[in-house]
Every structure is written in structure tokens, then in C-alpha cells.
Structure 1
Amino acid sequence: MARITIFPLPGAVLYPGLQLPLHIFEPRYRAMVSDALARDRRIGMIQPQRPVEGAPLFSVGCLGRIGDVEALEDGRFNIVLTGESRFRLLRELDVTTPFRQIEAELLPERDNEVLAPIERASFEREAKRFADAQGYAVDWDQVGRLDDQSLINGVSQIAPFDAAAKQALLEAETLPARCELLVQLMQFFGRHSDDDDEGVTLQ
């Protein structure tokens, strides 16, 4: 078990091995970064179930280590978190700090997972359709050079899906399962991208 300082940010998901740039401006989160820098440089990214103060948290997040850090004169920070390990929330702790802390179980990662060739081909085909429909410019030659984990986790982290969809991707237990869900989400959101202004959610 681990005691983790958390940054509950809706829509922000981090994966092991990937990076997440963050601009820290609220006083409590400036205190959080200062505290982390004085200790082990680690912060847990986890989504709240609702975008309101003190909302319950989803059950799975990712522990990140602060790498690059820029301390601005007015107390704000620009930092880059590198994902280290997913974690499962066990309980939230009663603390006096302005930032929230939890007790969590670190989840083992399957570092050598790969996709079957047909899974990779299916994903790339759907990703091209989705990117074209959304008007995204993508360097597909560079995409083709990425290993399976970097590709699937990278797209899962930056995909323009709602919080529930992003959370489902993070909680997928295997890379093939995450890939399959990602294809389904691209198909679902792609079909509904022209719906009303409220957008489409899976909640």
C-alpha cells in the first residue's frame, strides 16, 4: 500500500511511461507541488466522478513523477509528470493539508504486452477514419513506428472523449482490451460527433 498525494483533475489521465504537462496555479495545488518536490516528487493523477469540489474519486489513477519543473515568480508552476504505475484507490485519508491524499494499492504493469497484427491493423484503420472525421492532421508514418503500448496508451491519454470513457480506458486490464475499447469509442464518438452541442457521454 502507498500513501499518495492526489491531483483530482477531470479529463486528465496519465499512463505509465507517458508524460503529462501541467500548469499549476491554484494555491492548494502550488502547495501540493512544493510538498512533492520536497519529498519524492510524486503525485497521483485521478479523476473525480463529478467536476465539483470534494467529489468522490474514480477507483483507478496513475502515479506520476515530476520531471521538468519551471517555478514562476508569482508562485505558479509548469511541470511535466511521467507516469510510473497505475494505482487502485483503497480509501481517502483525513488530512490537514490543503490537497487531498489517499491510501492506494499500486497495480502491476504488463510491460511486454503486444497486439496481434490484426488488432493493430484494425486500430490503425479506425484511427485514420476517426482522425479524418475530426479534422486531425496525423503523421501516420510516425504512428507506424510506435510500439503497441506507446500507441494505444498515447491515444487513450489524449483522445477527446468524456471523463467516463477515459476512465474506462485507464481501467482496462490488458493492452488488447484497451485497444478494443478504444476502437469501439472511436466508432461511437465518430458516429455522434455531429450531435447537439451538449456532446455525447457514456455516463
Structure 2
Amino acid sequence: MIKPADLPDKLPLFPLPGALLLPRARLPLHIFEPRYLQMLEDAFKTPERLIGMVQPRALPPGHPTGRPEDLPLPRRLNAIGCAGRVTAMSETEDGRYMITLTGISRFRVLSEVEGFTPYLRAAVDWSGFGRDLGRTEADPGFDRAAFLGLLRRFFDNEQLATDWETLKDAEDELLLNSLSMLLPFEPEEKQALLEAPDLVTRRETLVTLIEFALRAGGDGEELLQ
């Protein structure tokens, strides 16, 4: 269990659009680029084994080079990411790694750390995300039956399949966070789910995104209120 005092003031960053990690959730990743193989090796030299997942920002309209790396770090990345601890790793025969990150806490990117690493490092601020290190969250007002009915229409609309019995029995946080991470939303929509201050707000955001997708897909049935 990582305590607030154990959180470092600097993190290696893995910018990846559309990849969402949430506290207490698990994210599988395929690591093969040399700079990120180095990042993984360096992370294992630290007691926390933390990697910061963060989404790149979209380039501003009319940007002259079209290269995100030409922007300063705070404008290149979203301000808020989530740190994950490497909790599983396997190596392929050709030197790539399959790892699992377990979400620990969200953070705010402050500034780039200059140095000689081939990957980004940033000074980060953990304040404001104290609940991430606490107990599993619940959603007392969660109408699971209505939500699953809405979700079933979304899955039909998107031609997705799932194990509905597992969804029906999953704990509130596991269900809502897993769907937030896995459903095919745009990066800015994933960012809104990440930045939701609590589980209730994340569920409300998730419902809004599903309803919007159904409207865009021509589903004319009455939506969840």
C-alpha cells in the first residue's frame, strides 16, 4: 500500500492518447519502443515502480509544424494524469514487454524535468487527489438496472459484446471505472472521465457520454435520466 508520503515529486511520463488509467483499476500495456523500455527499466530501480499515464493534447488549429513535441510540456499534455504501479510483467522472445499498471493516484503536471533520459519526466503535484489513496468508492444513488439497460443499447449500437452477468454483479467502482477505461470514447471524453472528482460524477459523465453516442447513432428511445 502506497502512502501519500511515498509519492515522489517527479514521475516518468507515458503519453498515450485514448489510454485511461484510474485509481485502483488495472491497465495492460505493450512496451516495445526503446525509450519506454528504458523507462520501464528505470522504474524498476525505484521502490514505488510508478509510471505516469497522461494523454497528449490535440494540437491547436494552425500550429505551424504539426508536431506535438514542439509545444512546451504543459501545453503538450493534459494537465492531469494518473500514476500506475507496475504490478505484472512478462517478456516476449523478441525483447518486448507486456505489463500491467495498477492505478495509484491522479496527479497534476507542473513542469518538465530536464535530463538525459530518452522519455519525458515531469515534476508533479498530488494535492487534491487524496481520495485516490483511500478505500474503494461506492455510488449510493446508482440505479444499476437502468444503467445496464442503457449500456445494453450502447453495446448493440456499437456492435460490442460483453459478459452481462459479470457486469451485473461487479462492485460499483469496478464496473464504472472499467467501463470508463474500456469504452470507445474520444481522448477528450476519456479525460473528462479521469478528471471527475468522485465516482458519482464519473457515473454521471459516463451516462452523458453514452446518451450522446446513442443520439448520434440515431437511437430514438427514451434515454436514462
Question: Is 1:50 matched up with 2:58?
Answer: yes
1:27 to 34, 46, 54: 34
Cα distance in 2 for partners of 1:10, 1:122 equals 31
Aligned to 1:199: none
Q: Unaligned stretches of 5+ in structure 1?
A: 195-203
Sort the Cα spacing of 1:33 and 1:127 in 2 relative to 1 into closer, same or farther, 3 A. Answer: same
* Secondary structure in 1 matching 2:148: helix
Aligned to 1:172: 196
Q: Alpha-carbon deviation of 1:93?
A: 1.8
Amino acid at match of 2:194: L
**Cα deviation per residue 1:92-129 (whole Å; 9 max; x = unaligned)?**
22222100011112221253432234543442222111
Mean Cα displacement is larger for which, 166-175 or 86-95?
Answer: 86-95
Q: Alpha-carbon deviation of 1:73?
A: 4.2
Question: Is 1:152 matched up with 2:176?
Answer: yes
Aligned to 2:12: 5
Q: Alpha-carbon deviation of 1:23?
A: 1.0
Amino acid at match of 1:39: T
TM-score by length of 2: 0.79
Cα distance in 2 for partners of 1:43, 1:85 equals 11
Q: Alpha-carbon deviation of 1:75?
A: 3.1
Q: Alpha-carbon deviation of 1:13?
A: 0.7
Give the fraction of aligned pairs with identical amino acids, expressed as a percent: 41
Aligned to 1:76: 96
Cα distance in 2 for partners of 1:76, 1:113 equals 35
Q: Alpha-carbon deviation of 1:25?
A: 1.0
Where do 1:86-97 residues align within 5 Å? 86-97=106-117
**Cα deviation per residue 1:62-114 (whole Å; 9 max; x = unaligned)?**
11111211233433211111111111222222222100011112221253432
Mean Cα displacement is larger for which, 141-150 or 89-98?
Answer: 89-98
Amino acid at match of 2:216: H
Sort the Cα spacing of 1:29 and 1:156 in 2 relative to 1 into closer, same or farther, 3 A. Answer: same
Cα distance in 2 for partners of 1:118, 1:27 equals 44
- Size of the aligned set, in residue pairs, is 194
Q: Alpha-carbon deviation of 1:61?
A: 0.9
* Secondary structure in 1 matching 2:176: helix
Sort the Cα spacing of 1:77 and 1:53 in 2 relative to 1 into closer, same or farther, 3 A. Answer: farther
**Cα deviation per residue 1:23-76 (whole Å; 9 max; x = unaligned)?**
111111111111111223211111011385525111111111112112334332
* Secondary structure in 2 matching 1:14: coil
* Secondary structure in 1 matching 2:201: helix
* Cα root mean square deviation, aligned: 1.9
* Secondary structure in 1 matching 2:44: helix
TM-score by length of 1: 0.87
2:22 to 2, 9, 15: 15
Aligned to 1:111: 135
